[in-house]
Amino acid sequence: MKRNLIKDPTLTVLLLYVIAWLVGNGLLLYVVTDGFIESPFDGKNLMLGVLFIFSSAATIKVMRNYFQSKKAGL
């Protein structure tokens, strides 16, 4: 059976995904807020919140799939 990185992640894939999520969202926050000078909660930064929500949902899905496959013993 072919392994899928999202549906059947290994611990290495999970760690890389979480690190990429943290670095990516951190850099995005830094750039959008001009080095943390502006507030990320301004109305003009609405897209930032949307990107955070979707990237967090994808990360949570990978984490959930990892723990479910670990629990099932796969």
Structural contact between residues 56 and 22, judged by C-beta atoms closer than 8 angstroms: no
Domain ranges of the chain: 11-72
pLDDT at 50: 92
Report residue 73 CA to chain centroid gap.
25
Q: What is the pLDDT of residues 2-59, one digit of tens each?
A: 778 888 899 999 999 999 999 999 999 999 888 888 888 888 888 888 999 999 999 9
pLDDT band at 62 (very low <50, low <70, confident <90, very high): very high
**pLDDT for 1 beyond 70:** no
Q: For the chain, what percentages of helix, strand and coil (3-state, to nearest 5) are there? A: 70, 0, 30
